[in-house]
Each structure stands twice: as structure tokens, then as C-alpha cells.
Amino acid sequence: MNEALQQNEADNTENSEELYERFSITIDKGQEPLRIDKFLSNRIEGATRNKLQQAINLGMVLVNGSAVKSNYKIKPGDAVIIYSDMSPEETDIMPEKIDLQIVYEDESLMVINKPAGMVVHPGSGNYSGTLLNGVAFYLQQKLPDITEAVLPRFGLVHRTDKNTSGLLVLAKTHKAMRHLAKQFFDHSVKRQYLALVWGDVNADEGTIIAHVGRHQRFRKLFEAYPDGEYGKEAITHFKVLERLGYVTVVQCVLETGRTHQIRVHMKYMGHPLFNDDFYGGDRIVKGTVFAKYKQFVDNCFQLCKRQALHARTLGFIHPETEKEMFFESPLPKDMEAVIAKWRNYSKTKNIEVE
């Protein structure tokens, strides 16, 4: 057999807010009939039989445009597309009673407003207290038969950073999971973030295009790579909403969803997010450093003790009704307070922007 993996469009989950990957394979002319689950487990690195079976059951394995069952036998010329979570198996999700800010819920999905400081799903060092621990408990109270095997990750199809607040959508059925995962991969989901960044952003609006990948030395960080030789394509559209002298309120719309994308892109522009301790925003970046100003900035850091980034809007097509849904989350109190403080400071001090 000489099957070629013609196009690997995988969005590595280490480098993406979307949790599902896409693989595209065209079957070689010399391929003998073989069950698709067996074929894919041999062809996709890191794909366990369990995850492949989940993907097939979810209808996320397509052959020539149609969903197939595990016993389907591939044949020469078949075009196979897989949308699936191919990341390594993770820690079991233990249900925990946690207060959730549920914005919307129906039989297919739920939209949750995540507070800053909450991790989305269990992982190294965060095995409890996460959003998914709370979702697992909530769903099991309503749907006793639901398990992580029935609905992987309890319907999570995307995520945000621990210290980013705002909207997330989760699926409650296999159809909804498949439908939403495809929308995220196809970049048709409408996401708008609001951020407070250091400095006076020159252009009123624009687009940042620079690949995002792990920092080649400090593996917990990500870096912008404008030449595109490393990392994955990342596109952020921004618009200035309010200029406050040494800081600017900007609206960011994601065309792609890489990990830390807005944070990395704004740093790349020279405007790190206010109080972003990963990317240099937790110090005075703009403004003349003198005692009273330093105290003012320190007070602002105390008001908003995390990167000032909020997932404000979320829009997608409902998997059952096919109607567009749109949700908006108001600014959390910490960001609202720090912006108001800067607004007042910029008026009273008549700042000359550097």
C-alpha cells in the first residue's frame, strides 16, 4: 500500500483554541478493501481507536462527503475527511457542583459566560474546579445517562485562556458537536473580543497577519512569526474603540483561533494587553515613570488582576434550526472599572501621547 496523506489540515490542539482537527486523505489506487476504522488508526499518528470510534459515531468521518460507519470498507479514490479530537487522552473529568453563568440553553447546546480565573478543562496542575467539572455535574443532573464516552469532553469544541473572561458554546448532542466543530474549523463562527492594550494604537483599524507558534525557547509562551515559516496561520482584525492616552480600548475579531492569538498579535504590534504577565503587559509600558503615575498604574493592576481580555460576542448557526444565533456578554466589573479609571485619568491629566 502506498496511500498518501495528501493534505494534513490538522490544527494542533496545543496551538489552537479549537479542539478539533481536520485530516484529508485520498485513497491510493492500489488500496485493497479495509475497514475504515482500522485504516485510519494505521494512517493518523496519535489517533487512538477509541477517539476514532468516537469520531465515526459522531458522524465526523466523511467519505466522499457522507458520514460512514466503522465497518465501511475504503476503496481506491475515496476522499476521506476526519473532524476529530486527536489529542492525547486526558484526565477523567470528575463532576463537581460549580456555579455556572448559563446564558442560553436548549436541547442541543448551551452558552456559558466564563469568569476570569477559571480553567476551561482539566489538565496538568488543574484537575478540579474547571468549567468542564461544573458542566459534567450540571449535565449529569439533567441527563443521567450522559458520560464523557457518550459526549466527549462534555461537548467542548473550543476554549479560552484561564484569565480571559467571556462566552463559550458547548454541545449537548452528537449532531450539535459535529456541526459546531465544523463551524469553528471553517472559521465561520463570529467571535469578537474587547481588550485594553498598552499604548496609543496608530491605525483606527487594521488586520494582523502573522503565524503563531510556540516560543522556540520558552515552551509555555507563544510567538508571532511574520514570515510564516513556523507556527500556524493566524489572522486578527482590530478596531480602536477608545483612546485613553497611554492605553487603548480595542475590539478584536478572530478569523483564526490560535492559542493566545490576540495576546501574541498585540504584543507583536508593540501593544501588549494590560496586565498580561506572559507577554510583558504587567509593567509600565507607556508613560513617564514617576511616583504618582506608578502608583496609579499599580492601582489599575489591582483593579484588573489579569490580562484585560473579554470574549464579548459569539455568533454561530444553530445545528438544528439552521438559524444564526448571536450572544453578547457585558464587560466584567474588573475590566469596566480599570477602563473607567484610565478614562478619568486621561481627561484630568490631559495626556500627550508618546
CA geometry: angle at 318 spanning 326 and 179, to 5°? 125
Class for the domain spanning 190-349: alpha beta
- The whole model's pTM is what? 0.81
Residues 6 or more apart from 202 whose CB is under 8 A from it?
A: none
The secondary structure of residue 345, as a DSSP letter, is: H
Q: Residue 351: its pLDDT value, please?
A: 59
* Chain region(s) in the chain for CATH 3.30.2350.10: 102-174, 190-349
For 226-275, the pLDDT digits (tens) are 887 788 889 999 999 999 999 999 999 998 888 899 999 999 999 999 99
Task: Give the span between the Cα atoms of 238 and 261, in whole angstroms.
Answer: 12
* Chain region(s) in the chain for CATH 3.10.290.10: 4-84
Q: Residue 20: its pLDDT value, please?
A: 63
Catalytic positions, please? 161
H or E element that contains 9: none
Q: Strands 205-209, 61-63: parallel, antiparallel or unpaired by DSSP?
A: unpaired
CA geometry: angle at 185 spanning 179 and 186, to 5°? 90
Task: Give the span between the Cα atoms of 231 and 222, in whole angstroms.
Answer: 9
Q: Which residues of the chain have pLDDT under 70?
A: 1-22, 45-47, 84-91, 124, 219, 350-354
Residues 6 or more apart from 81 whose CB is under 8 A from it?
A: 22, 23, 24, 25, 61, 62
Task: Give the span between the Cα atoms of 183 and 179, in whole angstroms.
Answer: 6
Q: Residue 65: its pLDDT value, please?
A: 80
Identify the architecture of domain 4-84 in CATH: Roll (3.10)
Task: Give the span between the Cα atoms of 10 and 20, in whole angstroms.
Answer: 8
Q: Residue 306: its pLDDT value, please?
A: 97
CB–CB of 123/171 below 8 Å? no
Domain 102-174 has CATH 2.60.120.1440: no
